[in-house]
Amino acid sequence: MIDVVGLHKSFNGQEVLKGVGFRVEKGEVFTVIGGSGQGKSVLLKHLLGLIKPDKGHVYVDGTDIAAVTGEELYKARDRFGYLFQGGALFDSMTIFDNVAFPLQEKTKMKAAEIKDRAEAELAKVGLSGMGHKFPAEVSGGMKKRAAFARVLVMNPEIVLFDEPTTGLDPVLVDSVHRLIVWGRENYGYTAVVVSHEIPEIFDISDRVGMLDGGVMLQVGTPGEIKGSDNPRVRRFVRGESEGAAQF
Amino acid sequence: MLSIFQRMGRAVLDALRGMGRMGTFFATSLYWTVKPPLKFGRVLRQISFIGSKSIPLIVLTGGFTGMILGLQVYYTLRKFGAEAYLGPAVALSLIRELGPVLSALMITGRAGSAIAAEIGIMRISEQVDALESMSLSPFRYLMTPNLIASLFSFPLLGAIFNVVGIYGGYIVGVRLLGLSSGTYFSGIQDFVEMGDVTDSLIKSACFGIIVFLVCCYQGYYTRHGAEGVSRATTTAVVMASTLILVWDYFLNSVMI
């Protein structure tokens, strides 16, 4: 479904991605793990065309997201939903308006239908009766769930999760992971998740890829990654540092 | 030695890149302005923010500018025994120069800085990316409303500044210094031409475009968190204010 081929990207002369390549199959939960500053979020933004690569391709069912622009790019993005690290809710709108916004702007639904639909999505993520609040008035976990409702309301084929559990307590981390799986089962999307939550993330992933040093070091099932022979993968999964010099 | 040339070359390239990026930004804004559908609700909201909510500030500054002008010009004209020309002197100074420039500077301080900060915060909190991720153009939702609102609001606010300023001059010249009311207003009727008013409106519209372009551009390309927003806001106000004065000179050269 998604084919990433030889992706290169530099910022101010610093090469972040050095030929990243992997494939995501339809309907699977593919998780990208890796240390801080390894370019995981940058990689995710390439999948949606929010960042253009210096070299390489991102094929989504044959369409090269990296090569298309304008209306063609917008059409390709219609298949995606993106859950941003901080939720990226519009802070001048209420939670309800945030969820209703894509429906108002991208569909011809009537106001009453939009209201029903947005409220139903909020209920599914456990935010019934919270629609009148502004993003600044709710907790981090609620923001994530509201942002998830905004993603789900358009019923996307592919959902990209950018560190969806950052800053949440262990109980909320578990609830977000359950939401990802629940969404996959009920909406049938393909998920690409960028996460630091090890080992919890292995429980919900079909396959995992480790990004390190600008390349995809290893891709495999959670079991293969946990039992990896690669010392860098093994150290990362076990949470072992390479000594004070590395810190 | 080579490093000096390298630094100079890099500075020139950065400046050229910045100008190119700003040109592209403006062209993209224009494209989304003429491409339907127009977001009327957002345009009206921005007209209210840039225009209506600036009226008290414009009335206050316009009134006092006219009063100061009335006092100073009266003092100067009296030396030549030409106090009767106070009305046209105040009106022409305001309409041709002070009205468009001072009102634009005031709006830059009040609304331009807020626009740069708002878009900057939306950029660093990924709200701009969120629009993009929904296949919605940030230009349609953020830039176009500001461009249209600026084009409407700046000339109208400039006109309000002029009218209030002329009445400020009237209060000082007629009410306080004893000039006759008829002399003050008939002089304005005799010497102020329609071309002066048109030039004033054109100037204000040009300043509106400058303030939109600089403030939205700085906000849109904000980087590096809160410090970046602070830098973008300061740069937007300083750059827009400077460009208003520079552009005013060129417009005057053409219009006079």
Q: What is the pLDDT of residues B77-122, one digit of tens each?
A: 999 888 899 999 999 999 999 999 999 999 999 999 999 999 999 9
Residues A65 and A175 grouped into a single domain: yes
Question: Rounded to whole angstroms, what are the CA distances from A209 to A29, A154, A228, B81, B208?
Answer: 11, 28, 12, 88, 51
Judged by a CB distance cut-off of 8 A, whether residue B135 touches chain A is yes
How far is Cα A202 from Cα A31, in angstroms, rounded to an integer? 8
| Contact between B133 and A78 using a beta-carbon 8 Å cutoff | no
Residues A14 and A133 grouped into a single domain: no
Rounded to 10 degrees, the C-alpha dihedral A118/A122/A123/A129 comes to -100
| Contact between B132 and A50 using a beta-carbon 8 Å cutoff | yes
How far is Cα A17 from Cα A10, in angstroms, rounded to an integer? 7
Interval B196-225: pLDDT, tens: 999 999 999 999 999 999 999 999 999 888
Residues A10 and A60 grouped into a single domain: yes
With beta carbons less than 8 A apart as the criterion, state whether A7 and A19 touch.
yes
Q: How many degrees, rounded to 5, is the angle at CA B248 between CA B105 and CA B92?
A: 85
With beta carbons less than 8 A apart as the criterion, state whether A79 and A158 touch.
yes
Please report residues of B whose CB lies closer than 8 A to that of A104.
none
Judged by a CB distance cut-off of 8 A, whether residue A182 touches chain B is no
Select from B122, B125, B133 the Cβ nearest to the Cβ of A48. B133
Residues A204 and A123 grouped into a single domain: no
Residue B16, number of CB atoms within 10 A of its CB: 10
Residues A127 and A24 grouped into a single domain: no
Residues A170 and A68 grouped into a single domain: yes
Residue A241 clears pLDDT 80, i.e. is over it: no
Select from B125, B129, B134 the Cβ nearest to the Cβ of A106. B134
Judged by a CB distance cut-off of 8 A, whether residue A11 touches chain B is no
Residues A243 and A168 grouped into a single domain: yes
- φ/ψ of residue A62, rounded to 5: 95, -20
Judged by a CB distance cut-off of 8 A, whether residue A45 touches chain B is yes
Average pLDDT, chain A: 88
With beta carbons less than 8 A apart as the criterion, state whether B226 and B126 touch.
no
Q: How many degrees, rounded to 5, is the angle at CA A45 between CA A145 and CA A27?
A: 65
Confidence tier at B2 by pLDDT (50, 70, 90):
low
From B91's Cα to the closest Cα of chain A, the distance in A is 42
Select from B121, B126, B134 the Cβ nearest to the Cβ of A102. B134
Residue A215 clears pLDDT 80, i.e. is over it: yes
Residues A100 and A140 grouped into a single domain: yes
Please state the rounded mean pLDDT for residues A133-159: 91
| Contact between B130 and A84 using a beta-carbon 8 Å cutoff | yes
Residues A97 and A202 grouped into a single domain: no
Q: Of A155, A189, A209, at which residue does a domain stop?
A: A155
Q: Which domain holds residue A201?
A: 1-79+158-247
Residues A54 and A107 grouped into a single domain: no
Nearest CA in chain A to B127: A88
Residue B13 clears pLDDT 60, i.e. is over it: yes
- Say what the pLDDT of residue A246 is: 47
- Say what the pLDDT of residue A242 is: 62
Please state the rounded mean pLDDT for residues A3-21: 90
From A101's Cα to the closest Cα of chain B, the distance in A is 10
State ipTM: 0.88
- What b-and-e string marks burial along B73-90, b requiring 16 or more CB atoms within 10 Å of the CB? bbeebeeeeebebbbbbb
Rg of chain B, C-alpha, whole Å: 21
Please state the rounded mean pLDDT for residues B159-163: 97
E-strand stretches of chain A? 2-11, 14-24, 29-33, 55-60, 63-64, 80-83, 158-162, 190-194, 207-212, 215-220
| Contact between A81 and B129 using a beta-carbon 8 Å cutoff | no
Q: How many CA within 13 A on the CB side of residue A230? A: 16
**Sign, CA torsion B160/B166/B168/B170:** negative
Confidence tier at A245 by pLDDT (50, 70, 90):
very low
- Say what the pLDDT of residue A247 is: 43
Please state the rounded mean pLDDT for residues A223-243: 82
Interval A32-80: pLDDT, tens: 998 888 888 899 999 999 999 999 999 998 889 988 988 889 898 999 9
Domain count, chain A: 2
| Contact between A50 and B133 using a beta-carbon 8 Å cutoff | yes
Residues 95 through 124 of chain B touching chain A, CB cutoff 8 Å: 121-122
Residues A145 and A188 grouped into a single domain: no
Residues A74 and A107 grouped into a single domain: no
Residue B139, number of CB atoms within 10 A of its CB: 20
